[in-house]
Amino acid sequence: MKTMTTAAAVLLLLSAGTSAQTLDDLKRDGNGGSTDNVLTYGMGYHQQRYSPLKQINKQTIKRLVPVWNLSLDNNWGEQAQPIVYNDVMYVTNAKATVAIDVGTGKQIWKQTLDWPPETPRVVCCGISNKGAAIYNGKIFRTTLDAHVIAYDAKDGKELWKAKAAEWKEGYSLTVAPLVANGVLVTGISGAEFGIRGFIDGWDAESGKHLWRRHTIPARGEKGNETWPQDTNAWEVGGGSAWITGSYDPELDLMYWGTGNAAPWASQSRPGDNLYTSSVLALRPKTGEIAWHYQFTPNDAYDYDACWELINADITVGGAKRKVIMQLNRNGFVYVIDRSNGQLISAKPFEKVTWASHIDEAGRPVETETAKKLRAGEAIEHWPSTLGGKNWPHAAYSPETGLLYANTIHNARMYRHLEIKPYVVGQRYQFVENIQIPKKPGEPYGHIDAIDPLTGQQKWRVPLTDNPIWSAMLATGGGLLFTGKETGEFIAIDAATGQQLWQFQTGSGINAMPITFTHNGQQYVSILSGIGGLWWNIARERLKDAVPQGGSVWTFALLPE
C-alpha cells in the first residue's frame, strides 16, 4: 500500500515535470495567465509590474504578515526579481541560484558560482544579478564574469554554460535573460570600461550562440557614420545593455535600451554615436534592427537608456496607440509608438539643466549649461550622473494610466577631463563628478505618480534620507509595494502616495517585489540585502544603521 502511494506520488511528480511552461505561458504571464506563476521579468513581457490581484488591499493590508524568510548567505547585495513556477520560487544573486518551496520557504536546491575575485574591478555599480528566466524546464541566468548558464529547474543540475565575453576586457553580466519567440536573449555590462556593447541570441536547449547585435555598428554598417571615421572611438564606445528588454509577441519585437557612450567625456567621439543611449526594436529570431530611437545623441552625461521600456496600449489624442514608455535617466519621460519608433511625447519629470526640451524631430535641444560642459567647464548637472531615475523599475497601472516610480533629485558638479588612451579592462570615463551638498530639507528623491504624456506628478512623496533603489509593484488592490535602503518593505496607497504598512526586513532593499497566488492566497515577495550603487555612495552614512546580508521574505494575510 505504501509502495502504491509512493508510485502515485512519483507519477504526479513526473506529470508536473512534463508540464514545463511553454512560450504560450510566457506570453500570458501578467496578461491573463495563471496568477500562481511569475514567469517573466517585469511580471509580463510588457514589464508593467502590475498585478490585478486584490486580496491584499487598503482594508486588509493591516493583516499582512511574513509567511517565511530564507537567508541567501550573501553580503554583496540582492537586486533580483524572483521567478515563480509550479509552487517553486527561483532566486539569483551574484553568488548563487536558489530554488525555494513557495509555501514553506524551504530551500530545494542551490547552485553556487565561482568567478575570479578580480571580476568586481570591471563591475561599476554593485556586485549583483537581476534574476533568472524560465523556459521549457530550464532556469537561465548570467554570471558576473560574463557567462550564460542553463540549469535543470527540477534539481539545479547545470545543463550548459556559454561564455559571452572576456571579463578582463571590461565585460560583465548582471542582466536577467529574456526568452522571446523561443530564443534566449542576453545583454552586456561594461560601458564604464570602454566595451563595445551587444545583445546576444542563444539556443535555449543547447546554449549554441545564434546571433550578436552590436549596439555600435561596425565600419561600413549603417549608423557607423555617426562616429569619427579617422579613429577607433566606435570600438570602445560603450552602449551596454544591462536591463532585460520588453517584448511584444504580436509585433514580434523586443525593446532593448542601450547604455551610455564611452568615455563619459565626449571630446573623442563627435557625432551622434549610434546606437548608444537609445532603444533598439529587435527581431528575437535574428537580432535584426526593425527601428531605433536615440534619447541622448552624443551622450556626455552617463545617460544610459537601459531600463524598462514599458509596453502599454494608451489613448493619445483620442486614438489607441501601442506605445513603449520610459522614465529616462536624462530627466524626460518618453512615449514612443512601439510599432514604428515614432516619438509621441517627451516631457521632463525632474529638474533638467542639460536640455530645454525635445524638439519636433525628437532631438534634445541642449542648453547653455550643456555647451559650457562641452567647452570644458564644470557645470551644476541636473539630473546628475545618477539620473532623474536610475534602474529601479517603475510600475504602470492600466487602471489609472499612471507610472509609479522612485525618482532621484540630485545635482553634481560635473566636468570632463582630458581623455587618456584606452587601456583594456580599465575605467574609461575621464570626468570629475563631485556631489553638491544637500540643502537642509532638500529631498534625495521622490516616490512619484507620473502622467506619461505630460511628465506631471499626480502626487509625489519627498524622501529626505535616501532615494529608494527598489523597483515598484502596483496591484489591483490599489496598492504599491517597494522597499527602502534602510530595510523597510512598504505598501503605499496608489491614489495618494500615503504609506499604509511597513515591515523591517533586516537589511536594505534594492530589489523587485512580486505578487502571486498560492492555494488561493495572495503572496508578496521581496529580496532584502543592501548593495548596489547607493550603498557604494552612502555607505559611510548607512553602515552603522543598515546591516548587510541577503534573504527572501514572503508575506500573506493573517486569517481574520
The 3-state DSSP class for residue 370 equals helix
Residue 117 lies near other proteins (rule: CB under 8 A): yes
Contact region for other proteins (CB under 8 A) — 41-49, 120-128, 248-256, 467-475? 120-128
Residue whose CB is less far from other proteins, 230 or 540 = 540
Write down the least CB distance from residue 528 to other proteins, Å.
18
* Least distance from other proteins to the Cβ atom of residue 542, Å: 8
CA dihedral 190, 194, 196, 198 (to 10 degrees): 10
Omega within 30 of 0 (cis) for the link into 383: yes
Which listed range, 272-280, 297-305, 387-395, 425-433, lies at the site for other proteins (CB under 8 A)?
425-433
Strands (E), 102-146: 107-112, 133-135, 138-142
Structure-block grid coordinates of residue 98? 536558489
Reduced 3-state DSSP string for 220-251? CCCCHHHCCCCCCHHHHCECCECCCCEEECCC
Q: Is the peptide bond before 263 cis (omega within 30 degrees of 0)?
A: yes
Point out the residues that are catalytic: 302
Residue 76 binds to other proteins (criterion: CB under 8 A): yes
45, 311 Cβ separation under 8 angstroms: yes
Of these, 29, 78, 192, 350, which contacts other proteins (CB under 8 A)?
A: 192
Which of 89, 95, 128, 127 is closest to 109 using CA atoms? 89
Give the separation between CA 188 and CA 222, rounded to whole angstroms: 22
Q: Which is nearer to other proteins, 145 or 448 (CB)?
A: 145
Total length of the chain: 560
Task: Return the HEC string of 282-350.
Answer: ECCCCCCEEEEEECCCCCCCCCCCCCCCEEEEEEECCEEEEEEEEECCCCEEEEEECCCCCEEEEEECC
Measured from the CB atom, the residue of 117 and 441 that comes closer to other proteins is 117
Shortest separation between residue 538's beta carbon and other proteins, angstroms? 7
Q: Which is nearer to other proteins, 435 or 464 (CB)?
A: 435
Q: How far is the CB of 429 from other proteins (least distance, A)?
A: 7
Contact between 374 and other proteins (CB under 8 A)?
no
Q: Binding segment for other proteins among 450-458, 480-488, 509-517, 537-545 (CB under 8 A)?
A: 537-545
**Interacting stretch for other proteins, rule CB under 8 A, among 151-159, 297-305, 351-359, 428-436?**
428-436
| Window 201-240: residues binding other proteins (CB under 8 A) | none
* From candidates 23, 61, 417, 495, binder to other proteins by CB under 8 A: 417
Name residue 326's beta-bridge partners: 334
Distance CA 526, CA 99 (A): 15
Q: Counting contacts by CB under 8 A, is residue 549 touching other proteins?
A: no
Q: Is position 438 an interface residue for other proteins (rule: CB under 8 A)?
A: no
- Which of 121, 292, 357, 363 binds other proteins (CB under 8 A)? It is 121
Torsion, Cα of 472, 96, 184, 222 (10° steps): 80
Least distance from C-beta 244 to other proteins, angstroms?
25
CA nearest neighbour of 113 among 129, 134, 136, 89? 129
Q: Which is nearer to other proteins, 85 or 535 (by Cβ)?
A: 535
Residue 351 binds other proteins, judged by CB under 8 A: no
Buried b (16+ CB within 10 A) or exposed e, 264-275: bbbebbebbbbb
Determine which residue in the list 307, 535, 553, 555 makes contact with other proteins, applying CB under 8 A: 535
Least separation, in Å, of the C-beta of 235 and other proteins?
19
**Cβ of residue 121: shortest distance to other proteins, in angstroms?**
5
In the bound state with other proteins, the residue whose beta carbon lies nearer, of 104 and 536, is 536
Residue number, 293 or 535, with CB nearest to other proteins: 535
Q: Is 120 in the site for other proteins (CB under 8 A)?
A: yes
Pairing of strands 479-483, 473-475: antiparallel
In the window 150-179, what residues touch other proteins (CB under 8 A)?
A: none
Residue 462 DSSP SS3: strand
Shorter beta-carbon distance to other proteins: residue 322 or 427: 427
| Residue 347 exposure: Cα atoms within 13 Å on the Cβ side | 12
Return the CA Rg of the chain. Answer: 22
Count residues binding other proteins (CB under 8 A): 27
Residue 141: beta bridge partners? 149
Are 470 and 481 in contact by the 8 Å Cβ rule? The answer is no
- Segment near other proteins (CB under 8 A); pick from 6-14, 19-27, 455-463, 533-541: 533-541
Of 30 and 425, nearer to other proteins (C-beta) is 425
Q: Can you give the binding site for other proteins, defined by CB under 8 A?
A: 75-76, 117-121, 124, 127, 192, 417, 420, 425-427, 429-430, 432-435, 535-540
